[in-house]
Structure formats: structure tokens, C-alpha cells
Amino acid sequence: MRHVFASMAAAGVLSACANGQAGNLFAVERPPVFRAEAGAIADSGFFGDATMNNTLVMNGERDYAIALARRFAEEVPSTVNFPFNSANLEPEARAILALQAEWMRQFPELRFSVYGHTDLVGSDSYNRALGRRRAEAVVRYLGTQGVHRSRLDALVSFGETEPLILTPTRERANRRTVTEVSGWVTGHPTVLNGKYAEVIFREYITSAEPGRQIETVQGGDFGTAQ
């Protein structure tokens, strides 16, 4: 009999919704929802990987700088392009460098290298100098975006020796700089033994923060918002 009354009550709620009846609006906060283990944000996302990664780093078996270098290349554009025979930064290049600088500011423990490249037009000596000017232009602009010059390694220009597209004519894709993670800042207070940094702890804490769900209830209608 109890099941019969429960069914009748549920039917009554559905009927009220169908007839457009609405009650007072109120919100109910659900308990915290944990979707992943702490630290999963810094790894592949598979359960257990964060703990394994932490253990490997602490044992000296994995250099976390390598993982961060991969993340930098995946999360922000690492390449900017230049006009022919120029080291001037175009609006698109400035926008990309702003993204690079934003990422760099999140990881003050890291150093970066900027490599300048050219297309195959012109002499090798001229192109090496041009590649260096392009790299220097990038470093200066990153400095205006809050990245200290001491975090940028000595500039290296590859000139025309590493074209993306092998052609003797003008090629925009070859006229570029590439920014890469080069390692840890020497003596930075958050770097332990040159490998494990506060950045790991910072991300573990962030990834452990629970999400909360709010239920909005009105006349039997339930909506869930996060």
C-alpha cells in the first residue's frame, strides 16, 4: 500500500508540472562533488597517474620540467611569424606572445629560450643576424608583458638552417621565432633540487578543490547548475 501512495504522489507532482503549476523558487546546495584525484590536472587524468608522477619526481626519476615543456607547447602557440626581411611584431604575433607571457607568469620557476629563424632568401650570415633580431624582439615584448629578462635564456638563432618548408623563395612559415621551456630558474626559492617545484603543490591543491552543484526547485521542476 505504501508503494501505491508513493506512486500516486509522484503522479500528482508530474500532473502539477504538466498543468503549469509552480511553487516558490528556492535553491538547495548539494554536498561537494569530487570528480578526480588531487593532482590529476597535472597528468593524463587516469586515476593513479598523479600519485605516480609525484613519486617519480621526488625519486629523481622524472624531470618535471620536461612535462611542463610539453604542456607549454600544447596549451599555447609557441611560434610567431614575421614579415619578409623584418623583425617587427605584427598584431597577430603580439596576441600570441601575450598568451605565452600569461602562461609564463603562472610558472615563475621556469626559464625559456627563444629561437629565431628566417626563410632561405639572402646569405646565411645575414639571416642568422636577422633571426637573432627577431628573437630579441620577442624577448623585449615578453618583458613588457611581465616576464623578467632573467628568465629568458641566451638567444640562439638558427637563421635559415631549419626551414619548415624547403623552398628558396619567400616563405612566411619559415620566418618565425619558437619559444621553448629550457629548465628551472637557478636558485629560485620554490625549486627543490632543481626538479620538484612549488608549482606541483600549487596545482595539486587547485585540482583538489571540489565543485558544488546548486539545485533550483520551482513547482516540481528541477534544474541543475554548476
- Using one digit for the tens of pLDDT, what is the confidence trace for 133-167? 999 999 999 999 999 998 998 688 888 899 999 88
Residue 223: what pLDDT?
44
Q: Which residue has the higher pLDDT, 79 or 210?
A: 79
Residue 194: what pLDDT?
42
CATH topology of domain 63-207: 60s Ribosomal Protein L30; Chain: A; (3.30.1330)
pTM: 0.59
Under the banding of pLDDT at 50, 70 and 90, the label for residue 5 is: very low
- Using one digit for the tens of pLDDT, what is the confidence trace for 78-115? 999 999 999 999 999 999 999 999 999 998 888 999 99
Residue 183: what pLDDT?
81
Burial classification of residue 65, based on how many CB atoms lie within 10 Å of its CB (0-12 exposed, 13-18 middle, 19 or more buried):
buried
Domain ranges of the chain: 63-207
- SS3 per-residue string spanning the chain: CHHHHHHHHHHHHHHHHHCCCCCCCEEEECCCECCCCCCHHHCCCCCCHHHHHHHHHHCCCCCHHHHHHHHHHHHCCCEEECCCCCCCCCHHHHHHHHHHHHHHHHCCCEEEEEEEECCCCCCHHHHHHHHHHHHHHHHHHHHHCCCCHHHECCCEEEECCCCCCCCCCCCHHHCEEEEEEEEECCCCCCEECCCEEHHHHHHHHHHCCCECCEEEEECCEEEEEC
**Do 112 and 152 touch, CB atoms closer than 8 A?**
yes
